[in-house]
Amino acid sequence: MAVIEKPALILQEVCVLESNFKKFLRRFSPKGQDHLSERIFVAAFGKHPGWDDHIDDIGLETDVFVAVKRMLYVQGIGGNVDSGSWDKLTENQLIEEFKHVFFWYINGSLVVGRMWSSQDGKGRKSYPFVVCVQCQKLPIKWIFEKVLPRLERIETTCTATTSADDVRMAIQSARQELRLLAQQCQTTPSPKVVYPDAIVKLAGHQEMGPNQEGMLRILYHIDREVGRHLANNAGSMALKSTSLRVPTSLNSMLENVLLWSSFIFTRFDTNTPVLILIPLKNTWMDIIIGEPTELQLYCLRASLKVIPLTSSIPYNMGSEFIEQANRLIEAGQTHQSC
């Protein structure tokens, strides 16, 4: 008889129960009050040959991690797996594998993660392995220099073994090492870095085409999606989650993340959740503003044949909008940094 993977709904219920149990334990732990003062947490979940099904959660000790697993893995990836949406894509429509780095500004923290295609001990390959680091009051450049290389090292270790103990040891070692390094790092109030002139730099990239048209289309897309939602929900300021697929420039991943996150935070409240997904074998980023949904996380395996760059969508933009958008970009030039 074939073994059936746990569907997303069951996983979600298990995730909530585990979270409540861990909160209960922390309440009566003598270290409970000091524990959450740490600035680095490392967690892993997903599929690995060391387990016959989804792995036993490793390090899922914060509410942020519980939310990350629920939205990204259980509802997002699990929802698309259960619905068979990725199975319907043809070869040229499908991104061959999970191979992503992600940056998630959520609840005052920055969660940096890496995911890759994997399988469980029964050989089932629908779900990836996900490892992520929650960073609190640490500068983003330090995170790029110290956290990203260790996430890559964890992937190398985990893909080279079929032992669950080796996986646990790799996560524990990375957690200890990063916490020691974090003690030597000066704190910062927030991992967010906001450049007021980000829109000018992005609009001027070659990938945006002549006359900043790509950026105009992105601004139109945001205005269209968010504005329509607010118009249909008069009196409600609840943000409708919105997704963008944007080209990456030839510059570094750090600069791409800094500029695009700055662009978002100058358009929205700085407390707005922002998830940036970077498929490492491709030349774009997917950005989800607000809480990601199953539909938006479809992007994880959908190529440009299915989801085009937002900057390439031929929107019918009126002259009044184009004038307003150009003025917005011009206004950013007054903040042009040296």
Q: Going edge to edge, which strands form the sheet with 128-135?
A: 40-46, 128-135, 109-117, 99-106, 274-279, 284-289, 242-247
Q: Do 131 and 44 contact (CB within 8 A), yes or no?
A: yes
**294 phi and psi angles, rounded to 5 deg:** -55, -45
Q: Do 66 and 284 contact (CB within 8 A), yes or no?
A: no
Residues 106-118: pLDDT tens digits?
988 999 999 999 9
Among residues 242, 218, 167, 247, which one has the least CA distance to residue 321? 218
Q: DSSP string of 17-44?
A: HHHHHHHHHHHT-TTHHHHTT-SEEEEE
Residues 28-37: pLDDT tens digits?
333 343 343 4
Domains of the chain plus CATH, in order, are: 8-183 (3.30.450), 198-333 (no CATH)
DSSP 58: B
Residues 182-197: pLDDT tens digits?
999 988 887 788 888 9
pLDDT of residue 336: 59
Regarding pTM above 0.75, the answer is: yes
The one-digit pLDDT tens for each residue of the chain (338 residues) are: 444 465 655 555 545 555 554 444 443 333 343 343 478 999 999 999 999 999 999 999 999 999 999 999 999 999 999 999 999 999 999 999 999 999 999 988 999 999 999 999 999 999 999 999 999 989 999 999 999 999 999 999 999 999 999 999 999 999 999 999 999 998 888 778 888 899 999 999 999 999 999 999 999 999 888 755 444 444 444 578 899 999 997 678 999 999 999 999 988 888 889 999 999 999 999 999 999 999 999 999 999 999 999 999 999 999 999 999 999 999 877 765 53
pLDDT of residue 10: 54
pLDDT averaged over every residue in the chain: 86
Which tokens sit at 115?
């995911």
User: Helix, strand or coil for residue 75?
Assistant: helix
pLDDT of residue 267: 87
Q: Beta strand pairing status for 40-46 and 242-247?
A: unpaired
pLDDT of residue 29: 39
Contacts of 242 (CB under 8 A, 6+ apart): 221, 222, 225, 226, 288, 289, 290
Helices in 48-89 by DSSP H: which ranges? 63-68, 78-83
